[in-house]
Structure 1
Amino acid sequence: MKQHIAHIALVVKEYDEAIQFYTEQLDFTLLEDTQLSENKRWVVVAPPGANECGLLLAKAANEKQAQSIGNQTGGRVFLFLFTDDFWRDYNKMLAKGINFVRPPKEESYGIVAVFEDLYGNMWDLLEPKENKRVIRN
């Protein structure tokens, strides 16, 4: 049996501002943007070269969902963006105005820095060392 996670839902305020952030500031690819109803779209973005998992940008449909925007994990790092060249991507992201909340650090598993998306969700930018499993607390 083979399984994989296809999408991770990320609650957003507005579709277009989220698409703009992910495609213009993080250089993600817009894989799909389909209107499902008057107020609902199916919007999927993914990092360059991603094969399986993408972010499903899901507009908050009610107040309870809106309260989770930017804090879907209670303040912990939410998503992990792996790269094959940390410094290339870190410098590009800085130039595009990405806010890093923790500076680059060499860890036993690789080079990592924490940044936040347009809503404040925290992400790791990580270039893992080969053959090292990434474990964070």
Structure 2
Amino acid sequence: MSLIVRDYDEAIDFFVRAVGFELVEDSPATTNDGRPKRWVVVRPPNAESGILLARADGAEQRAAVGEQFAGRVGLFLDVDDADTFDATYARMRAAGVEFVSPPRAEPYGRVAVWWDVAGNRWDLRGPS
């Protein structure tokens, strides 16, 4: 999937430093009309799929930054156990990730909602 961002380097820094993802690829590329862009992919460590960080190109795309999910949670970062949830939550907070509220219990497990660098909402999710 693609995530529209304002700036490649700002998004890479956020996802790698603050969230703990790994930078999989950062290669030069060109748009369909020949302008320079970058192919930037990040993903959680050991994950098989990643997120393409796509810099907004034009007014319509800039307006979509942070609004890709119409203000709803649209992305999920799942962890395997309660200890990992607590450690991930603490590390992300210490790195400056802004959480909507403290973790809470839901029927499906623990959850804490956070904003990414573009203003999209994510769930950090783990088991009860």
Query: With structure 2 as the length reference, what TM-score do the two structures score?
Result: 0.90
- Give ranges in structure 2 of 5+ residues lacking alignment: none
The alignment yields a C-alpha RMSD, in angstroms, of: 1.1
- Give ranges in structure 1 of 5+ residues lacking alignment: 1-7, 130-137
* 1:16 paired to 2:3: no
* 1:64 paired to 2:60: yes
Residues 72-115 of structure 1 deviation map (CA, whole Å, 9 limit, x = unaligned): 01000010000122101001111111100122111111110000
Query: With structure 1 as the length reference, what TM-score do the two structures score?
Result: 0.84
| Equivalences, count | 121
Q: Which residue is equivalent to 2:124?
A: 125
Q: How does 1:72-87 map to 2 (within 5 A)?
A: 72-84=68-80, 85-87=84-86
Structure ranking higher in helix proportion:
2
Q: Which residue is equivalent to 2:102?
A: 103
Post-superposition offset of 1:39: 2.6
Task: Give the ranges of 4+ consecutive aligned residues of structure 1 lying more than 4 Å apart after TM superposition.
Answer: none
Q: Which residue is equivalent to 1:133?
A: none
Distance 1:59 1:128 in 2: 34
The one-letter amino acid paired with 2:113 is: V
The one-letter amino acid paired with 1:12 is: V
Q: Which residue is equivalent to 2:36?
A: 39
Percent identical among aligned pairs is: 48
Higher relative contact order (CA 8 A, sep 6+): 2
